[in-house]
């Protein structure tokens, strides 16, 4: 987490389970942020800093991630119900919502099913039809003797997961459970076109040009299906755009949120 950002960790209890979230503070308009698999709320610290003072980022540790409790199921409706409980707890009224990967699907499904509660939507590098391969997840190391050993075992992908490194009595592992993640990924797979096309609020779809999760063709089909209400930005990055191109990502999010709700003749933006 950025040393210049002081976030307050809080909790909301829903259905007997605790959900953790980080409120990065400020007097700006609320932006609810949802991480992807393998991550947690702290990944949004750089974005929160970049969007101040206009936006107050409040990021949720989704079920089974970070300091939120593990759950018996990880179905689509489970995640949406958690987000609704989180949003009600904040008492901030209708708000902008941003989500990456898993969080992106959760964000647009929430916007589709609760249209009066989402004023603007940012979806980072995830599609409307998904067939998630859990092979990467099942190959993750279960434990390591030290933080350095865990990073070494992960190799070049370590920077993407280090925010979820967690020390326990068994050594170093992750703040998510590998089995839970596989179940969540299986539930994420499917055709979500109906939710994507049902979203009514202004929407920004951000794609990494090197993404292995969202093709350029599929991204453009998503924009075509929402002509006039959705825009596409492609940035030089992989799947985790906010990590690979943090300054550019923050800039396009800031610009979009500032203009959200104003009509535009251009249905796409170049990055």
What's the CATH code of the domain at 240?
Answer: 3.40.50.1820
pLDDT given at position 4: 63
pLDDT given at position 170: 85
pLDDT given at position 266: 37
What is the side-by-side strand order in the sheet with 118-124? 8-14, 17-23, 55-60, 29-34, 95-100, 118-124, 203-208, 230-235
Domain of residue 208, residue span: 8-139+190-259
Between CA 176 and CA 137, with CA 107 as vertex, the angle to 5 degrees is 30
Residue 153 included in any domain = no
Residue 59 included in any domain = yes
In a 13 Å sphere around the CA of 177, the CA atoms on its Cβ side amount to 14
Residue 194 included in any domain = yes
Residue 37 included in any domain = yes
Low-confidence spans in the chain with pLDDT less than 70: 1-5, 261-271
Number of compact structural domains in the chain = 1
Residue 1 included in any domain = no
pLDDT given at position 236: 98
The C-alpha atoms of residue 236 and residue 210 are separated, in whole angstroms, by 7
Residue with token string 């647009």: 108
Residue 165 included in any domain = no
pLDDT given at position 254: 97
The C-alpha atoms of residue 77 and residue 59 are separated, in whole angstroms, by 19
Q: Indicate the pTM of the whole model.
A: 0.94
Residue 177 included in any domain = no
Residue 131 included in any domain = yes
237-267 as b/e: b if 16+ CB within 10 A? bbbbbbbbbeebbbebbeebbeebeeeeeee
């Amino acid at each position: 987490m950025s040393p210049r950002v002081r976030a307050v960790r809080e909790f909301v209890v829903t259905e007997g389970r605790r959900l953790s979230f980080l409120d990065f503070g400020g007097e700006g308009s609320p932006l609810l942020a949802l991480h992807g698999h393998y991550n947690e709320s702290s990944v949004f610290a750089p974005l929160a800093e970049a969007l101040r003072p206009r936006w107050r980022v409040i990021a949720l540790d989704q079920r089974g991630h970070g300091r939120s409790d593990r759950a018996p199921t990880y179905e689509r409706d489970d995640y949406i119900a958690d987000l609704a409980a989180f949003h009600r707890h904040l008492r901030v009224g209708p708000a902008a919502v941003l989500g990456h990967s898993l969080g992106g699907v959760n964000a647009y499904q929430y916007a589709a099913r609760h249209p009066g509660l989402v004023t603007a939507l940012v979806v980072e590098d995830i599609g409307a039809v998904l067939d998630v391969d859990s092979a990467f997840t099942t190959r993750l190391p279960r434990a390591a003797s030290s933080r350095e050993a865990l990073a070494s075992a992960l190799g070049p992908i370590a920077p993407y997961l280090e925010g979820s490194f967690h020390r326990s009595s068994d050594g170093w592992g992750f703040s998510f459970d590998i089995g839970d993640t596989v179940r969540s990924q299986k539930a994420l797979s499917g055709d979500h076109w109906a939710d994507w096309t049902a979203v009514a609020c202004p929407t920004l779809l951000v794609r990494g040009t090197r993404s292995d999760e969202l093709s350029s063709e599929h991204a453009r089909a998503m924009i075509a299906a929402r002509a006039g209400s959705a825009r596409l930005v492609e940035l030089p990055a992989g799947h985790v755009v906010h990590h690979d191109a943090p300054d550019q990502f923050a800039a396009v999010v800031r610009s979009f949120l500032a203009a959200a709700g104003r009509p535009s003749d251009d249905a796409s933006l170049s990055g």
